[in-house]
Structure 1
């Protein structure tokens, strides 16, 4: 009886997780979102397309990737005990309109030069918000991670559970602060730092020194260049003192 109970416990524990792999005909299958909507658990596939997620028989598991159609499965007992369980995803295919080229010479260079194409831009197409400056790459990723369609958008849920949204918010903040540092450097000029005794190779280090202190918010938002330079002089003295102390 004791052996039976032990075997039952091991079997129950083994069946509490779904292990398998994601496969497709040609696309990369790493970093595919795997979400157990019954348990509100999520993970992503590794470099080989494999995954492991808490699951029980009857749970609904969703597989989602930008380049794939969403796939939903209902977990069965066989899936829980099959180490080679595989989910096959269908790739999204974008079809282009047919283009017919006539009067070709057979010389690729000549034919490419003779083909006339129209310059297509957001302005020429009359698209709304064409005048707006595109968001930086990191901010576009954050927007994609926190929005989604459907009755219950899965994208924000998955990214919140896996911690991707939190990481992207951190990257966006750092990117904005680094941009602000560069703008401060351009406003005062490198010669200003040289006059304060900070060589060019240490300017970035000094600005990082300021970035880690409350004065940074004052520096990046202050339109008064004289006030900015006065504050930089004060912190330059502290920075150089700290540098000397570290050297000792």
Structure 2
């Protein structure tokens, strides 16, 4: 009996020691050569928890020793810090960040970016008609009757719709339509979350390039997955990364 009790305590103790460390609130402050430090993202890459700095650069985020923090914003170079015990011994974690705003000041927009559209990005095949919801419903209602059948095949009745769809190419067309519909849905969702002012003033996208940037964003598979999650903080963080890449494209096109 004593052996059983001893074994029980050993198992309980082992389980207690094997438990994950409890996250604690880590306070920090961003240091940079500019005064406005609001809106910098602080992401715990292990837990996927996120925080945003206030105007003075202060932030708080749950973390433990061994976690990796990512600091990122459109106007700064990103930086990663692997937390050690020493980071938790002081009142604040001070993080020095380097601005990159001067790179965007060199961009001079002289013409419209007309070549960025749904066709050029491969969202809509060239020459394909975009259907409204009513047109799609009408197309479905007047198309092949799914209850029709082909007789004389292996002595039984086989549904004609899948076979005829395959022969006519309608299945492939409907798949493309579905992809277009998803992209349209992502665009609407993106426009509901962020207005033009956010793209222009926060992400530094020139106003005439905003629509092209929206197409650029929804073409990114990683971004659309995050968009489906409805995590606004993570969505805004990844959107900032895409904005940096997009502004680099604009800069190279206007050289």
> Which TM-score tier does this pair reach, normalised by the shorter chain?
0.3 to 0.5
Instruction: Point out which structure has higher relative CO (alpha carbons under 8 A, 6+ apart).
Output: 2
TM-score by length of 1: 0.40
Q: So what's the TM-score if we normalise by structure 2?
A: 0.39
Which structure dedicates a bigger proportion of its chain to strand? 2
